[in-house]
Copies of this chain bind each other. A is one copy, B any other.
Amino acid sequence: MKDESNLECPIPHSLSDTIQLAHGAGGRQMRGLIERLFMPAFANPALLARHDAAVVELAGARLAFTTDSYVVSPLFFPGGDIGKLAVFGTVNDLAMAGARPSFLSAGMILEEGFPLRELERVVASMREAAAIAGVQLVTGDTKVVDHGKADRMFINTAGIGLVAHNLEIAPRSVRPGDAVILSGDIGRHGIAVLSVREGIAFESSIVSDCAPLAAPVQRLLDASVELHCLRDCTRGGLASALIEIALDGCVAIEIDEDRIPIADPVASACELLGIDPLYVANEGRFVAFVAGRDEERTLRVLRASGVCPEAASIGRVRPADGGCVTMRGALGNLRVLDLLSGEQLPRIC
């Protein structure tokens, strides 16, 4: 399914190396770690599908199962907090398998001395987010480590959802001719977190796009859109999501820069900070790869869903050598998008 020659992830070089921030950044080093260490260790069909959630069979049912740890700093940011992120993030990973999110677990690691009042705020936020997303948090665990051994609070959530369709929504289902649909404007989450972390006040306040994505995905399924792959554009942003799919699906993707919605304040902030918005994390945006003939219908369904008014068709899968993402600029120039090397925005989720 995968063409290793396209991988070009030379890290880890050697096991005498140490973990760097980049190993968790969603870019080249993280992919190297996954491909060289985790995949060989745990090789099984569900893991090898390389998707946001594993799809497994149990008692005759297809279930999606996923996990994410959240280490965002600071814990509270414009438009959200670690609790909301921990619920919606995992709900979204289930949605990206086309699953209906059902149950969540929550594992908290707390630093000794963390204020109970802040814990209460985070728990209230998780409760509200779970209600909005229609999931039940049914099991949990709390660990406390001595002061200085963790940074305030980390949360892991795992989630289970029911896969009630027969599609195989995964990178390997992507085909030349597929339309690439982006669900909304990009870059809000990363810039919102960065602004509060660095104490930068932009002209207009930028709020995280943190939101649950199961409802618009369900609309696409209900409309029988031929979905080939879905991916939320979190760590590493839109560019990394596309590159991962190009690599894992062995396809060539071409997108148009002009057609990618970016809000003016986000564009200005990125310019000011020298950051490429294509690589900035989102927490409420996804790309859908759909059969070319379903392009217009996908846009109509998403725009009518109430949560994706800016959904846009940004490109196509091309019949060319796989593993490559190119972006056509306003002047017709072609730029090859690469996985980021190093870490741009640590602890963004």
Bound together, the chains give a CA A42 to CA B42 distance in angstroms of 33
Residues of A within 8 A of B (CB-CB), count: 82
Decide if A46 touches B139 in the complex (CB within 8 Å): yes
Decide if B59 touches A59 in the complex (CB within 8 Å): yes
Q: What residues of B have a CB within 8 angstroms of the CB of A115 in the complex?
A: 15-19
Given contacts A58-B160, A158-B105, A158-B158, A69 and B141 within 8 Å (CB-CB): yes
Closest B residue, CB atoms, query A13:
B116
Q: What residues of B have a CB within 8 angstroms of the CB of A70 in the complex?
A: 143
Bound together, the chains give a CA A34 to CA B109 distance in angstroms of 14
Q: What residues of B have a CB within 8 angstroms of the CB of A151 in the complex?
A: 145, 149-150
| Number of chain copies forming the complex | 2
Q: How far is the CB of A197 from chain B (nearest CB, A)?
A: 12
Q: How far is the CB of A257 from chain B (nearest CB, A)?
A: 30
Q: How far is the CB of A147 from chain B (nearest CB, A)?
A: 9
Partner of A124, one of B23, B41, B53: B41
Q: How far is the CB of A31 from chain B (nearest CB, A)?
A: 11
Given contacts A71-B143, A136-B46, A139-B53, A37 and B156 within 8 Å (CB-CB): no
In the complex, A108 has a CB within 8 A of chain B: yes
Q: How far is the CB of A23 from chain B (nearest CB, A)?
A: 5
The 3 closest A-B pairs by CB, nearest first: A24-B144, A158-B158, A59-B61
The 16 sampled A-B contact pairs (Cβ below 8 Å) are: A12-B116, A15-B120, A16-B115, A19-B116, A24-B144, A25-B144, A37-B116, A44-B138, A58-B61, A58-B103, A59-B63, A63-B160, A71-B145, A148-B148, A150-B151, A150-B154
